Structure 1
Amino acid sequence: MSAPKSGITSLAPWYVRDQRPLYSHITTATTSHKIITFAGQVGANEDGTFSPNQSEQVEQAYRNLSQCLDAAGATPNDILKLTYLVVNYDPNNRVHRKPTTEFLKGHLPATTLIPVPALASPEMLFEVEAIAAIPEAPLKKVDVVVVGAGLSGLQAALDVQKAGYSCVVLEARGRVGGKTWSRDIAGGKQDVGAAWINDTNQIRMYELCRKYGLKTVTQNTMGRIVMEDPADGSFHTFPYGGVPEKEGEKGGVANMVQVRDLFESLCHKIDVSDPVGSCKALGKDYDKMSMEEFVTSEGGGKIAHGTINIWCKAMLGLEAREVSCLFFLDYCKSGGGIMAMRSDRRDGGQYLRLVAGTQSFSLSIASSLSPNTILFNSPVRNIEETSEGVHVTSARGSFLARRVIVSVPTPVYHEISFSPPLSETKFKLSRGTVHGYTAKMIIAWKEPWWRRFGLCGLLQSAYGTFCVTRDTSVDSQGLYALTCFSEGDAGRAWSRLSKDERRAAGVDHIRRAFGPFVGGEDKVPEPIETIEQEWWKDTWSQGCPCPAMPPGLMTEVGSALREKHGSVHFVGTETAYEWKGYMEGAVRSGERGATEVIQALREEGKSSAAAKL
């Protein structure tokens, strides 16, 4: 279970000055490699703007090159040649050197540095061009190809292999887990993606905990919540499990509770196997309206609007105006209702975390697969059904399968060319679903200072950088942290800042929100470490946590969500009937996809046996 070994070799010729560890004079690749050329990458941000700082442009250029490498199924270790052009090059201040070394991580391709007076436009200060080579495996025949090594794909592969069929998993990244990704911080692990389970109605996840001996941490709910009032932006606190005791809008809290309880009641009337059909009995076409329109139609005030908007942002990374009311009703019903999904206590969506991080789930399932099942850095670009079977073409090899399971989000389907093309409804669905903007910043301190003041670490903010924060400390490891969610419009604006500016804005928001309740903003300590993850910048996720549907889409093409396409089947947490958008939903969807494929293969086997009689 490792990335294919690169066939690239670096050489230092005799009697030519050895430039290692800076670069090599020669790099070679074997004939089994595919050559990839990359256009020159400059330090342009996603919106086309440039930092005036040359060092920041160098770092951004390498981030852009990294995205290009990912899209091609390559890594920095696959680079044969680097050429970089530096405006106003100063040999006494080589601004490119440190970012280049950090990007290559010890790999030493041949390189050429070209000092230039200017590039294509005056704001450009650095450009880097690359040539890479990646190994290509010969065509291999298998029973099943699984596209994606997230939880749904891994579970599907495991079930397929247990049924006795051969299987390969093609993963675009260099790791397993998809949106389960546990990163190092302050001596422990924190989840920059999916993070919570429970032990009562998320049966599959808790079974995995017990099966693989994974230790859990109960989410802290002891203390008061900090709230930024949607009505006037003031900060106040209230007990966890209660409702705000102060309000910037007269009668606003009672009004919010009334709208919330109506939504909860409607939610439980939705049939998750037929949301559109069950909606007809409710007397309104809830798919025609957004969540924002729903709140308005029910007489919701500022606090109601602000609270429901926080729900949509925290759960989908979208503003309430962007989400179909019916979709959100169905989404919440899949997890037992809005109150259960938002709860951090027993039976709730955020009750337990893993000490080692939730990527342990993915790593554990992967370890149960047959050796060499997973091929990393292998994005799939073409799936073609022929009379011989299904041809699957990835960056590092091609496969001929009897069945294929695609476990990527619907908005990512466009990264794959399907032949024959997807049905009209499936295509419209993949183009119509939307990923919200969800980013996490995890901020670590030497101590859980908020607890000393009777706060549980939960923040609900209507206007700030972060819409929600939670205490994700692991006390047994001396790791004390708040996981902070930047979502929707505020998140998109935050994303446009530089990395240092994002950190400053995040820490400043924590100080402004918690400061009044801990003795002042200056009493909030300086963090010891921060990490962040912006999922919409991830080529193979393009958002988080789960694609959503805008008004009207579910009625028009929602029925195509789980439909197979010839011999191609589709899984993923968005296709789940239970706990959609959560790890539980991902695993259950993988089980469903595997069941479909196993039944189809058995039927094919019976037909083949009958034909021989």
Structure 2
Amino acid sequence: MFMFDVSWPMERFQARPSRGRFTGDPRHRTEGEMERKFEAGAQAVSETLSERIGKERIRLGTPVLRVEHGAEHVRVISEDGQSFEGLYAISAIPHAILPTVHFHPPLPTLKRLLINRMPMGSVIKVVTFYKTAFWKEKGFNGCTMSDSGCVTFSMDDTKPDGSHPAMMGFIQAETARRMCLDTPERRKASVCQHYARIFKMEEFLHPVDYVEKNWTEEAYSGGCYSSTFGPGVLTSFGEALRQPVGRIHFAGTELASQWPGYMDGAVQSGERAAREVLRQLGRNGSEEISQAEAPLPLDCVSTPEGGFWLARVLPHPPHSLLHFGGIVLAAGLAWFFQSKL
């Protein structure tokens, strides 16, 4: 959008309440990457924000075709010919699909080279529904990880009130790309057979419903969960990742310094880009921006309060000290093993 079987062996778990992990109970926060679940669906967050902003100020179904930027303004032109002009623009679309937008003048060379090296991942999300949560009745919590089946990771997706028993899983990477060639019916059969094998329960072969989301088919994301970086990409082109281009600033979950690929990372990067624009407005005399609203350094990684206690008490040495310590450790180990020979 533009804005103005390593598999874990399937052990038998004791069936127990979720302890708030997926229900949002603040008394049981675990600071995990999937600690919360929106009972009304994640889209409810966007819908609530749109109501606060005013839906008349938001244009949906209006793909951006061209962005013209200069010393004084930015003009965004949509596919249907509508034109929107502002002092600054924030692009929050994945870098992998930025080439579908025509920038005039073109983006800098380093930025374009980076974009060409940031493909999106390949993921198919699958949800199978059953009459009852029989796996819970037999003492399993539904969480699995596997390197030998079609579903890399799964978890119980039953509603917090116990209705609509379901298992949610992710088909990822090469397996997802291969299974894109299958029909939905064949993918459904493969998923159910995987669950039946890993749980050793034939009941998984008889779902009452099946829903899937093939993110590789999404035109405006290009894949899931986020952009990926091959060896040497960040060290060679990383300086252009969050660097503004004139009056265009960039956000998106792959640009987050913490929790990239998650909603938390998307929010963090959006707030960072907004602070950058606010600071520029302050410099132009349009608005006084306090120090608290200034953009965080590009390499800043904040640690939320209430996180893992060990992370809060451990010192944070500079990278040079860590490198030196690593060299000393490697030399010491080499001397130790050589002395034993």
Q: Where do 1:201-216 residues align within 5 Å?
A: none
Equivalent position of 2:136 in the other structure: 451
Equivalent position of 1:364 in the other structure: 48
Distance 2:191 2:34 in 1: 22
Distance 2:170 2:255 in 1: 24
TM score, norm. by length of structure 2? 0.75
Q: Does the aligned pair in 2 maintain the 1:412–1:540 contact within 8 Å?
A: yes
Equivalent position of 1:440 in the other structure: 125
Relative distance call for 1:238 and 1:553 in structure 2 (3 A) is farther
- How much has 1:377 moved relative to structure 2? 1.3
Which letter does structure 2 place at the counterpart of 1:443? T
1:536-560 C-alpha deviation (Å, 9 max, x unpaired): 1100000111112100101100111
Distance 1:602 1:475 in 2: 46
Q: Where do 1:387-402 residues align within 5 Å?
A: 389-396=73-80, 397-402=82-87
Picking from 485, 489, 501, the partner of 2:174 is 489
Equivalent position of 1:39 in the other structure: none
Which letter does structure 1 place at the counterpart of 2:32? G
Q: Does the aligned pair in 2 maintain the 1:470–1:483 contact within 8 Å?
A: yes
Which letter does structure 1 place at the counterpart of 2:217? K
Distance 1:440 1:524 in 2: 17
Which letter does structure 1 place at the counterpart of 2:272? R
Picking from 5, 8, 11, the partner of 1:237 is 11
Distance 1:589 1:421 in 2: 23
Equivalent position of 2:156 in the other structure: 471
SS in 1 for 2:142: strand
Distance 1:563 1:238 in 2: 49
TM score, norm. by length of structure 1? 0.43
SS in 2 for 1:496: coil
Equivalent position of 2:189 in the other structure: 504
Greater C-alpha radius of gyration: 1
SS in 2 for 1:581: coil
Equivalent position of 1:348 in the other structure: 32
Relative distance call for 1:548 and 1:480 in structure 2 (3 A) is same
SS in 2 for 1:501: helix
- How much has 1:503 moved relative to structure 2? 1.3
Distance 2:249 2:118 in 1: 18
Q: Does the aligned pair in 2 maintain the 1:377–1:395 contact within 8 Å?
A: no
Picking from 265, 276, 280, the partner of 1:600 is 280
Is residue 2:255 matched to residue 1:575?
Answer: yes
1:259-283 C-alpha deviation (Å, 9 max, x unpaired): xxxxxxxxxxxxxxxxxxxxxxxxx
Distance 1:578 1:596 in 2: 18
Which letter does structure 1 place at the counterpart of 2:11? T
Relative distance call for 1:439 and 1:345 in structure 2 (3 A) is farther
Equivalent position of 2:58 in the other structure: 374
SS in 2 for 1:375: coil
Number of aligned pairs?
273
Picking from 543, 549, 564, the partner of 2:229 is 549
- How much has 1:524 moved relative to structure 2? 3.2
Q: Where do 1:312-331 residues align within 5 Å?
A: none
- The answer for unaligned runs of 5 or more in structure 1 is 1-146, 154-166, 168-227, 241-343, 608-613
Relative distance call for 1:346 and 1:552 in structure 2 (3 A) is same
- How much has 1:364 moved relative to structure 2? 1.3
- The answer for unaligned runs of 5 or more in structure 2 is 15-27, 288-341
Relative distance call for 1:593 and 1:236 in structure 2 (3 A) is closer
Q: Where do 1:8-87 residues align within 5 Å?
A: none
SS in 2 for 1:457: coil
- How much has 1:356 moved relative to structure 2? 1.0
Which letter does structure 2 place at the counterpart of 1:349? E
Looking at secondary structure, tell me which structure has more strand per residue. Answer: 1
Q: Where do 1:30-429 residues align within 5 Å?
A: 147-148=1-2, 167=4, 228=5, 236-237=10-11, 239=13, 346-386=30-70, 389-396=73-80, 397-429=82-114
Picking from 233, 240, 246, the partner of 1:566 is 246
SS in 1 for 2:278: helix
- How much has 1:421 moved relative to structure 2? 1.1
Distance 2:216 2:222 in 1: 4
Which letter does structure 2 place at the counterpart of 1:601? L
- How much has 1:602 moved relative to structure 2? 2.9
Distance 1:507 1:567 in 2: 50
- How much has 1:492 moved relative to structure 2? 1.1
Which letter does structure 2 place at the counterpart of 1:389? H
Distance 2:162 2:142 in 1: 18
Distance 1:507 1:429 in 2: 40
- How much has 1:345 moved relative to structure 2? 7.4
1:67-117 C-alpha deviation (Å, 9 max, x unpaired): xxxxxxxxxxxxxxxxxxxxxxxxxxxxxxxxxxxxxxxxxxxxxxxxxxx
Distance 2:35 2:175 in 1: 26
Relative distance call for 1:508 and 1:601 in structure 2 (3 A) is same
Relative distance call for 1:431 and 1:403 in structure 2 (3 A) is same
Is residue 2:206 matched to residue 1:526?
Answer: yes
Distance 2:79 2:262 in 1: 29
Relative distance call for 1:450 and 1:606 in structure 2 (3 A) is closer
